[in-house]
Every structure is written in structure tokens, then in C-alpha cells.
Amino acid sequence: MNQPTISQGHALPGRPEQWATRLAFFFIGVALATWAPLVPFAKHRSGLDDGGLGLLLLCLGAGSILAMPLSGALATRFGCRSVILLSGLVLTALLPLLAFLDDALLLGATLFVFGAAVGASEVAMNIQAVIVEKGATRPLMSGFHGCFSVGGFAGAGCVSTLLWLGVTPLGATLLIGLGLLVTLLLSSRNSLTYGNEGGERSPMFVMPRGMVLFIGLLCFIIFLAEGAMLDWSALFLESQRGFDRALSGTGYTAFAIAMTLGRFGGDRIVAGLGPYRVMLLGGLVVALGFAVAVLVPFDAASLIGFALIGLGASNIVPVLYTATGAQKVMSPSHAVAAITTIGYAGILLGPAVIGFVARASSLSLAFGLIGLLMLSIAVSARRVTGPRAQG
């Protein structure tokens, strides 16, 4: 019996490819979250203030954004597997350097390459996720992103625990790196050897327009909130709430746990409430979470606020990707690439802006401004999910 195929003769992706995609999302979640508890240590070693740390984080974002268009073209030409494997190996090799470098210039250069590897991984695994989901008979995107959240919880939680037990940052990253290497090799076994099931040539970048641009800007805002949790939650708990440096990563852990729980129930939540209510309520809950974290001066309240941010944000992005597939302004493949690039600019470039605001005023004010921005997600819910969304 012949195996079902998609265009260009590729075999229809099945369960092995689905699990490979889940492992790829898990891998990048762990790798990124491993960096979160290391931020206060890096700031201390390099002697940077909040503004200087913002510039340092800008290196990570710049590397990622510059790599994204190129990695999309490379995935189309050489396949998702090659890009995921190569970028994953780079990420694994660089994590220990981020744990002991004390020179700001060397740390910035390392973060630039680290960010480029992150960008390449993000684009390739999202291309693979779209193709694999097309070959399935049920929605998979929320589950894929749920695996990213599990990785975030695992990465931040394991590193924070190791640091609390007295393991050095270098030792912690070496241990995490071994696990990452095993995960990467398992994922690459069944990753797609192609990156474009249609076979047509894809340009390096397609300028987003209309509804695609609007959705991309909303992705930028929601990923900005996620970037704030990744790069600044540990420092917020240490500087604003007096947490011990070794325990400051618990804020991102609370965020990641809540997001994980929300995403693994995401398909049922969207089916029950509808995409409009998911966006509306999600935006309001994230705004409430930032308000609680900033305005209620208690340790537990900050952790509860970060958990609310994770819960509210958990299913907004899958809804935005679904809306992207429904719009008629651009082809789905080009539209997904465009909103992914714009969105991840938020998670990678946004935290640098937070550093400038924190230096000019305070980190609490920066978090409060992000909370206000999240209200635009709620206000835009009808426009994105209603009948006009296809235009």
C-alpha cells in the first residue's frame, strides 16, 4: 500500500514527525529559559547597570532578527532538520560561555551568536510545525507551543534548583547542556528533510500588509510580555522584592508553569469559549497580572502576578496563528513567516527597551507600561476573530 504524500512527493508527516516537532519546541524552550536565571549573574560579573544590561540583551535580539529571514530560506533549501540540528548544536555549545564570561564585549558577541541560533531554530521549527499540522486530522499548534512552555518550566526550574543547591552557573549549564544534546539528537531523527511542501521558491522576506501586519503587531506585544518574563523577571524579584539571587528564577518558573497548563488545555479552551473570548479575557488577565506584580508589594503577590501573565497569554498566540491562516491578504506560508518575524522581535528586542525605561525610571514602571499595552490585545479581539478578519 502506497504511503500518502503531499505535493513534491514528500511522505505525509505522521506521529514520528509530530513527536520530533514537540521535542524541537521543548528543546528551544529549555535553552531560552536556561538563560533567564543567569541574567542577574551576568549583570553582576560584567558590572553593568540596567541600561547597560538592556544593550547587552539587544545583542541577543539583533542576532536573532538578522538570522530569521536567512534561516527561512535555508530551511526551504536544505530542510528543517538541517537548520534545527545546526542551530541547536550552536545553542548547546554557547550556554556554558554565557555562564562565566565577564567581559561585556565578549558576552555581547556571544549573545549575538546565541540569538542568531535562537532565531534560526524558531523559524525552522515553526515551518515544520505548520507542515506537520497540515498532515494531521486535528489541531496541534497549541500542543507544540505547550511543549515550548514545558521546556521553559524545566529549564528555569532545573537551573534555579541547581544554583540553590550550590552548583556554579557553569556547572549548571554543562549539566543542562547534556540533556539538551540528547533531546536535539532525538528530535533530529524524524525532523523534516524539507521546509516547503509546495516546492515553490520563497523570497527572503515578504513585506506584511493589511491584516497580517496588524496580527504581527499584536504578536509583537504578546511576545514583548513573554520577553519581559524571560529576561527581567529574575532581576525584578531580586531588585524590587528582595529575593535571593539563587531563587530569583522562580518568577519565570511560575510564569512557565501557568502558561504550560493553559496551553495543554488550549484546544478545549478555544473550542469552549471561542477565539474572541480567549483573546479578550487573555489580554485582560495578562494586564491584571502585571498590575498585581507591580502594585502589590509582597513576594507571593509577585509570583501570583507572573502566573496570571502566563495563564492569560497561553492561548493568545495560537488564536493569532489560526487567524493568520484564515486571512486572504497573503498566502498562509508567507503570512506565518511574517508574523513570526515581527512577533519574535518583541520577545528579543523588547527587553532591551525595558532596560532603557528601567534606567530612566524603574523596572516597575516598565512592567506597568507592558500591562497597559496588553489592553490593546483585548480591544483588538473582535477585529482579529470577527468576520472582517479575512480582509
pLDDT tens by residue, 151-171: 887 888 899 899 989 999 999
Return the amino acid letter for 391.
G
Q: What is the mean pLDDT of residues 110-133?
A: 87
Rounded Cα distance between 249 and 42, Å, is: 14
Q: Binning pLDDT at 50, 70 and 90, where does residue 333 land?
A: low
Cβ neighbours, 10 Å, residue 176: 23
The pTM (predicted TM-score) of the whole model is 0.75
What the block records as the C-alpha cell of 120 is: 534560526
User: Residue 387 pLDDT > 70, yes or no?
Assistant: no
Residues 6+ away with beta carbon under 8 Å from 249 = 36, 37, 156, 157, 159, 160, 163, 234
CATH class name, domain 15-193+208-390: mainly alpha
Which pLDDT tens digit goes with each residue over 182-234? 999 999 888 888 776 555 555 555 677 788 899 999 999 998 888 888 778 88
Rounded Cα distance between 58 and 112, Å, is: 8
Residues 6+ away with beta carbon under 8 Å from 183 = 23, 26, 27, 30
Q: Are the C-beta atoms of 233 and 255 separated by less than 8 Å?
A: yes
Phi, psi of 5, rounded to the nearest 5 degrees? -130, 160
Q: Are the C-beta atoms of 119 and 63 separated by less than 8 Å?
A: yes
CA 49 to centroid of chain Cα atoms: 25
